[in-house]
Amino acid sequence: MSDAPVDYRPMWTELGLDLEAHDALLGAVGPMYANAYMAQEGRPEGTGYFDFVMSEIHGLRIKELDDFRKAGNKVVGTFCLYVPEEIVRAHGAQCVGLCAGAEFAYDEVERILPRNTCSLIKSFMGFKLGKVCPYMEESDLVIGEATCDGKKKAYELLGELHNVHVMELPQMKRERDKEFWRAEVRDLISKLEELTGNTMTEETLRSAIKEVNDKRRALQRVWKTRKADPVPISGKDALLATQIAFYDDVPRFTQMVNNLADEVEQRVADGVGVAPKGAKRVLVTGAPMSIPNWKIHDIVETSGGVIVSEEMCTGSRYYDKLVDEDGATMDELIDGIADKYLDINCACFTPNEGRMEDILAMAKDWNVDGILHYSLQFCGPYQIEATQVERVAKDAGIPILKIDTDYSMEDVGQLSTRVEAFLEML
Ligand code: SF4
Ligand code: SF4
């Protein structure tokens, strides 16, 4: 077999990407990755898989999805944790995460969205308008969700450019909200049946539940090793694993993360770490961080701290709870999925006490020295909820640093100064 690099440009052209803009994006992400990741010392060997996935982020994985679709199957893009991957897979389709973590085509974005929109929304709209995201272009359907107001309204605009279905999400978690959400999940099933031409069976659903739970179990294994001191894997690598979980092939990813878990569990047994024993342990909580958003983790871990857990959608909210595998009927299985997803503690809910409880429990179990609250500017839900997080952290005697930022690199110097002072104070 030849080792000559594969030319993916014909595939990107066929997808309608703007090749020049796409080159500029990949040209920026490569060095960002090299600076943040390859400069780390003592990484577990299992992280080599993530290096490979990142080197092929718009190549091999897109080719796999392309082949999958050309064989008559469907790909579904999602932005949020509330969209149940099990239901998508039980219809023979694959799920890919579309949240984007870089500034792109903001000039075009700001023609249709206010400047003071959070980076996450501006970024995914920029990737669409700038024609640089092959995952978006491989998605036969994009499933949005009525979480925050910015996303809801942005999906209306995205719907003018792409096939979009929006799930309505309750804002509370009472019994009647649960019933409403269960019905919404059943509407999604009808939508996917129409899209794929496949009918979900009890067997396909059971198998999808098991597969996605296995992915979560593998991530949980790695997460639990981060309770050790010294920590066997950096927060940066753990974050990357979760980011990749949103779009990689599920069984392969699970296998590779289980291999990594074997290795980091052995490291814990041998007392091997990526940071010195006694390094200041930080819990990060807040809004999700999508590829290539590694800014906060990079700052903390190059300032001598180590991130031991992420209470965020690219963290524990993604894998800490499993779907019930024991439902006796199809209806029970579907309800089990709906209930598990509604149990995610996003700041779009009111009240959101469950998030406070999760943060405090995690701070204790992962033995953290301090909490870093991360919000994106112009994000009402997380910026406002930071006040409650600060209050419960202070009441529990845990130091907390609140950071509001965006996807630009302009504030890195200022943030580094604040993080260094925080770590020194711990
Ligand atoms: S923070 Fe909330 S809205 Fe954003 S991805 Fe997570 S669950 Fe969805
Ligand atoms: S970061 Fe905040 S404003 Fe932005 S999409 Fe998430 S919840 Fe909405």
Residue 228 has pLDDT above 90, yes or no: yes
Residue 388 has pLDDT above 60, yes or no: yes
Q: How far is 315 from 242, CA to CA, in rounded Å? A: 6
User: Per residue in 397-411, pLDDT tens?
Assistant: 999 999 999 999 999
Give 310 Cα–ligand 1 centroid separation in angstroms.
14
Nearest ligand 2 atom, CA 287: 1
Residue recorded with tokens 């978006």: 136
Residue 137 has pLDDT above 80, yes or no: yes
User: Per residue in 333-342, pLDDT tens?
Assistant: 999 999 999 9
| For ligand 1, atom 4: residue with the closest CA | 80
Which residue from 296, 373, 379 has its CB within 8 A of the most atoms of ligand 2, so it is best to mutate? 379
Q: In whole numbers, what is the pLDDT of the chain averaged over residues?
A: 97
Give 120 Cα–ligand 2 centroid separation in angstroms.
7
Contact 178, 342 (CB under 8 A): yes
| For ligand 2, atom 7: residue with the closest CA | 148
Task: Give 5's pLDDT tier (boundaries 50, 70, 90).
Answer: confident
| Strand-pair partners of 143 | 78, 165
Task: Give 3's pLDDT tier (boundaries 50, 70, 90).
Answer: low
Which residue from 118, 152, 311, 348 has its CB within 8 A of the most atoms of ligand 1, so it is best to mutate? 348
Contact 309, 316 (CB under 8 A): yes
The pLDDT assigned to 33 comes to 96
- Nearest by Cα to 76 from 89, 67, 64, 63: 89
Task: Give 1's pLDDT tier (boundaries 50, 70, 90).
Answer: very low
User: Which tokens hold the place of 174?
Assistant: 């009472």
Give 347 Cα–ligand 1 centroid separation in angstroms.
8
Rounded alpha-carbon distances, angstroms, from residue 346 to 47, 82, 185, 259, 353: 29, 9, 18, 30, 10
Give 367 Cα–ligand 2 centroid separation in angstroms.
29
3-state secondary structure the chain: CCCCCCCCHHHHHHCCCCHHHHHHHHHHHHHHHHHHHHCCCCCCHHHHHHHHHHHCCCCHHHHHHHHHHHCCCCEEEECCCCCCHHHHHHCCCEEEECCCCCCCCHHHHHHHCCCCCCHHHHHHHHHHHCCCCHHHHCCCEEEEECCCHHHHHHHHHHCCCCCEEEECCCCCCCHHHHHHHHHHHHHHHHHHHHHHCCCCCHHHHHHHHHHHHHHHHHHHHHHHHCCCCCCCCCHHHHHHHHHHHCCCCHHHHHHHHHHHHHHHHHHHHHCCCCCCCCCCEEEEEECCCCCCCCHHHHHHHHCCCEEEEEECCCCHHHHCCCCCCCCCCHHHHHHHHHHHHHCCCCCCCCCCHHHHHHHHHHHHHCCCCEEEEEEECCCHHHHHHHHHHHHHHHHCCCCEEEEEECCCCCCHHHHHHHHHHHHHHC
Contact 134, 418 (CB under 8 A): no
Domain 9-198 has CATH 3.40.50.11890: yes
User: Per residue in 283-322, pLDDT tens?
Assistant: 999 999 999 999 999 999 999 999 999 999 999 999 999 9
User: Per residue in 40-57, pLDDT tens?
Assistant: 999 999 999 999 999 999
What are the residue ranges spanned by the domains of the chain? 9-198
Question: What residues flank ligand 2, with Cβ below 6 Å?
Answer: 118, 120-121, 147-148, 150-151, 287, 348, 376, 379, 381-382
| Strand-pair partners of 403 | 374
The pLDDT assigned to 4 comes to 72
Rounded alpha-carbon distances, angstroms, from residue 371 to 311, 355, 359, 364, 394: 10, 14, 9, 11, 10
Contact 261, 217 (CB under 8 A): no
Hey, CA dihedral for 191, 192, 198, 204, is it positive or negative? Answer: negative
